[in-house]
Amino acid sequence: MTTAPLTRHDRRMLRLMNDRRAQPLYATAARRRLVVTAHVVLTAAIGGLMTHLYLAEGEPIWAVVVMAVLLLPWMVATGAINAATRGLLELRERALDERQSAERVRVQARAHRAMTLLLLAAAAGLLTAGAIEGHAPTAYAAPVLIAVLVVHWLMPLWVAGLMAQDEPAEDDDPVAL
């Protein structure tokens, strides 16, 4: 931790992010991968429904209802990833120890590299679609840019969830020296 004192908000967030009651959701690497995968799928589903809402003609109120229903498991998955990483990305820098600060830098660097590749793929896809059709696909440009922005926002969380390590096993029998 840095030398700056923790505020009441910092202490409350630190307690919340270190609450182990939901640990069965993310106790193993396989479960963490499952939670991150579920979060990615839910994000894609909500984004797809938003795109449908944007491009559809008429009143697709069903899309809004389904998005609202999907939002609850999305929030649970977000909380599970944050708890698995012990708030690595949510806590302020002064609430992290040196190991966590270094881990945050590694996660952000890896997420940055992944986003660079995703941006390259999105640009290439739009340019390719424009070249095939003879003009830029303007109807899809806004949804694609919004999707890339959402992934840019969530990529560090997904990377942190995938990089999180298992909790060390507690020994019931301390070794006698």
Region label for 134, one of left (φ > 0), alpha (ψ between -120 and 50) or beta (otherwise): left
**Whole-angstrom distance between the N-terminal and C-terminal Cα of the chain?**
32
Whether 148 contacts 126, CB under 8 Å: no
Burial 45-58 (b: 16+ CB within 10 A, else e): ebbebbbebeeeee
Radius of gyration of the chain (CA): 20
Q: Which two tokens stand for residue 4?
A: 């700056």
The string of pLDDT tens digits covering residues 36-94 is: 999 999 999 999 998 888 888 777 889 999 999 999 999 999 999 999 998 888 888 88
Region label for 86, one of left (φ > 0), alpha (ψ between -120 and 50) or beta (otherwise): left
The string of pLDDT tens digits covering residues 120-175 is: 988 888 888 878 877 767 777 778 888 888 999 999 999 999 998 877 666 554 55
CA-nearest of 26, 119, 30, 114 to 78 is: 26
For the chain, how long is the longest CA-to-CA vector? Answer: 77
Delimit the domains of the chain by residue range: 8-86+96-163
